[in-house]
Amino acid sequence: MRSILSIAAASLCALTLATAAGAMPMFGVSDDRGKYDDDGGAWFFSELQAAGLGANKMTVNWDPADPLVIKEQPFLDRSVPEAAKLGVHLSFGIHIGKARAITDDPENLEKFTQWLRILAATYPDVKEFVIGNEPNLTRFWQPQFNRDGSPASGIAFAKFLAASYDALKEVNEDIVVVGVGLSPRGNDMPKAKSNVSTSPVKFIHDLGIGYRKLDRDKPIMDVFGFHPYPARDRDPLAKGYAWPNAGVANLDRIKQAFWDAFHDTGQPTFEEPGVEQEDPLTFKLDEVGWQVAIPKQSRRAYYGRESVRPTTEKEQAKIYSQLVSKVACDPSVRELLFFGLVDEPNLDRWQAGLVRADRSRRPAWATVRSAVGKGCRGRLPIWDHTESVVGVKVRAKKGRILVEAGEDAAVTVGTASFRLRANKTLAIRASAPARVRFIAAVNPERRTFVYVR
């Protein structure tokens, strides 16, 4: 009875914490359309609000060839006040221009942070900056790996993010620094023929290594930026990724990866019951979307050829509604931004907006507006870190012990050790009784012991 009461009390406490921290997330889009429109974004921001949304992430590119100039200042000068006039929460998504802009020249980090201070001082009403855009992909950050195949991107990015954090806080302590903007997938293959990339779990692991090398006692981010796109546009919301990648259905995996990398440091981790933190980390899901096929009546507004297998508008509307409802109940999510309010007309690019290229509204426009209006109608999720290896399974069969885990691990049976790949079954020649030890590859402190009889 005592243990049952303890569990009930812990659950009640967790719900209280979640409720206290779980104010309704901000909903919006990541879209530069308003920045470039001739009206300074007047129509764009009005349409955003009409859909029940109130936030917009706007890209600002740093140019290493002209490092102290805000290249698109004329566009920002007219669109930032327009967003403020309508009460839109504006954030800047900071891109570094070239994938090797920071790593190829040791002096460029100082030039970049000087530019960042100028940008923050020029637009004091913008108090949220997303530092980085999918740096686990070769397209946006290089190198991903060193010549010997050891990881490079996450370790280097920690220094970059720390310097950016400090520069922005020097301008205004109230600026919210969103770190990373991580892609949901990577192949962890240094010698891949194309798309050399790092999975999100392993990038976070390396980010933690980089942080600890800095000998730092304060954060490098206030909020964690993540892009939980589906693996395929026809995937349902509930379909996630296999470890070490992650999507909407795998946010707990990201939380665990963050705990593995940063617990007991100056960088806060995600909220969990029984763990006191002044400012727990939260998510900014700042890019997500399902691309859709264009209906016949709107095809005149588009050109080119489709390059993916899109979902239907009906299915997109259902998924977006489900996503808003799910996030509305999650106190660990600060913001959810759909990638694109309005479609790009080139079919080879991005069509996942709530509004078609001809400005007609998709079914998702209405379902998102309705879901945002309803808010949370379900249970608040509760997350606890684990100090065991995830998904361990062990069984004996015909003179062998079959082992499996939901993540990469080292396995020891007797005096023999083996490397176990996530979600793969390894048959070890041994007989019961036996003691099997699992050690998590990304955090050797996490262990599981199983006795086979």
Evaluate if residue 11 carries a pLDDT over 50: no
User: Max CA-CA distance within the chain?
Assistant: 75
In this structure, of 56-60, 152-156, 396-400, the range with the lowest mean pLDDT score is 396-400
Q: Output b/e per residue, 68-104; b: 16+ Cβ within 10 A.
A: eebebeebbebbbebbeeeebbbbbbbbbbbbebbbe
Q: Give the strand pairing for 393-397 and 400-404.
A: antiparallel
pLDDT at 23: 77
pTM for this predicted structure = 0.93
pLDDT for 251-303, tens place per residue?
Answer: 999 999 999 999 999 999 999 999 989 999 999 999 999 999 999 999 999 99
pLDDT at 16: 38
Other CB atoms within 10 Å distance of the CB of residue 323: 22
pLDDT for 58-88, tens place per residue?
Answer: 999 999 999 999 999 999 999 999 999 999 9
Q: From the CA atom positions of the chain, what is the Rg in Å?
A: 23
Q: Give 451: exposed, middle or buried? Use CB within 10 Å, 0-12, 13-18, 19+.
A: exposed
And the tokens for 141? 């950050």
The answer to whether 109 and 163 have CB atoms below 8 angstroms apart is: yes
Evaluate if residue 364 carries a pLDDT over 70: yes
Q: For 366-391, what is the mean pLDDT?
A: 96
pLDDT at 158: 98
Rounded to whole angstroms, the Cα distance separating 19 from 30 reads 27
Evaluate if residue 144 carries a pLDDT over 90: yes
Average pLDDT, the chain: 94
Bridge partners (DSSP) of residue 131 are 94, 179
The answer to whether 369 and 52 have CB atoms below 8 angstroms apart is: yes
Please, which residues have CB within 8 angstroms of residue 66's CB and are 6 or more apart in sequence? none
pLDDT at 384: 97
pLDDT-derived band of residue 374, with 50, 70 and 90 as boundaries? very high
Q: For 332-351, what is the mean pLDDT?
A: 97
Residue 303's Cβ-side half-sphere holds a number of Cα atoms within 13 Å equal to 0
Q: For residue 163, report the phi and psi dihedrals to the nearest 5 degrees.
A: -65, -35
pLDDT at 1: 34
Higher pLDDT, 202 or 276: 202
pLDDT at 441: 98
Instruction: Determine what percent of the chain is predicted with pLDDT higher than 90.
Output: 91
